[in-house]
Amino acid sequence: MEKDAKIYVAGHRGLVGSAIMRNLKKEGYNNLVYRTSSELDLRRQEKVEEFFKEERPEYVILAAAKVGGIQANDNYSAEFLYDNLMIESNVIEAAYQNDVKKLLFLGSSCIYPKYADQPMKEEYLLSGKLESTNESYAVAKITGIKLCEHYNKQYGTNFISAMPTNLYGPNDNFDLETSHVLPALIRKFHEAKVNDEDEVVIWGTGKPKREFLHVDDLADSLLFLMNNYDRNQFVNVGVGKDISILELAQLIKNIVGFEGEIVNDLSKPDGTPRKLLDVTRLNDLGWEAQISLEEGIKDTYQWFKENY
């Protein structure tokens, strides 16, 4: 991408979008276009079409999405499916209609089957049943990947897709009702420490394993892909190693400085047993994650304390 190119970042205020904005500015990209969700509802086709005709972005990074953890996905499954389908369909179609040079669609590792072989290779997509608790979100993200692939096939567009693993970092969602596991644990341990409580309860057995990528690493990988990748296959983005939820809880407990006990609530679901991405394709292109989990959690906890 040329340094003066007009780049539209959809979802610029979210966890991912804000990291993308920071990284683009740091790398000298200053012709950035964005709108808040109140200014532009991406679920409304007419509004999206008007925006693209008015702004004529040359490049699009589609990070806007309705996101949440197991509980939010399960409780609001129709919203997760509808909202994400409409957002991606409207933006991808408008990008095609307005001759966008390149678009990057951001998916999620939950697109893979619940019992996929580990680590999960890109070719495992659609090879088995999805995890039921986030099926609607996964279906929407799979549709986004396929939209990009088929627009490229039929129209000759250059629309690529990246599938990040579990993300965390500054601007994360720390709402215990809707957040993902890592920020939820940061808040739980912090509040337990402040309130001098004896224990922190975590969902399930703590045995499921998860991979965590700092959002600034993700932003760096997306800029790398925009500048170096043009194939019609999506790319996994991760660190290539995982940690159990109980080990994660212990790590966060130590970083926060909580001295009580960790208690497992076995009435709560574990979710998918393991979700580790095979990042060979991305590594072979020349990109690897740089931020360690401990370093990243310390950075995120510092942000949390300053902003909550």
**CATH number of 111's domain:** 3.40.50.720
User: In this model, does residue 90 exceed pLDDT 80?
Assistant: yes
C-alpha 243/C-alpha 237 separation (Å) is: 17
Quick check: is 45 in a domain?
A: yes
Quick check: is 218 in a domain?
A: yes
Mean per-residue pLDDT of the chain? 95
Residue ranges of the alpha helices (H) in 166-257?
181-194, 215-228, 245-256
165 annotated among ligand-binding-site residues? yes
Tally of domains in the chain? 1
203 annotated among ligand-binding-site residues? yes
Is residue 137 annotated as a catalytic residue, yes or no? yes
The reported pLDDT for the residue numbered 305 is: 97
* pLDDT tier, 177 (very low <50, low <70, confident <90, very high otherwise): confident
180 annotated among ligand-binding-site residues? yes
Range of the domain at 30: 7-169+212-239+277-291
299 annotated among ligand-binding-site residues? no
* pLDDT tier, 292 (very low <50, low <70, confident <90, very high otherwise): very high
Segment among 109-118, 176-185, 186-195, 243-252 with least mean pLDDT: 176-185
Quick check: is 148 in a domain?
A: yes
Quick check: is 123 in a domain?
A: yes
Q: How far, in Å, are 83, 117, 159, 235, 292 from residue 241 at the CA level?
A: 31, 14, 28, 17, 11
Quick check: is 227 in a domain?
A: yes
Backbone angles phi, psi at 247, to 5 degrees: -65, -40
User: In this model, does residue 272 exceed pLDDT 90?
Assistant: no
164 annotated among ligand-binding-site residues? yes
- Indicate which residue of 137, 151, 168, 301 is catalytic: 137
The reported pLDDT for the residue numbered 32 is: 98
The reported pLDDT for the residue numbered 227 is: 98
- pTM value is 0.93
The reported pLDDT for the residue numbered 176 is: 85
Quick check: is 178 in a domain?
A: no
Quick check: is 262 in a domain?
A: no
Residue whose pair of structure tokens reads 């966008």 in the numeric block: 100
Quick check: is 121 in a domain?
A: yes
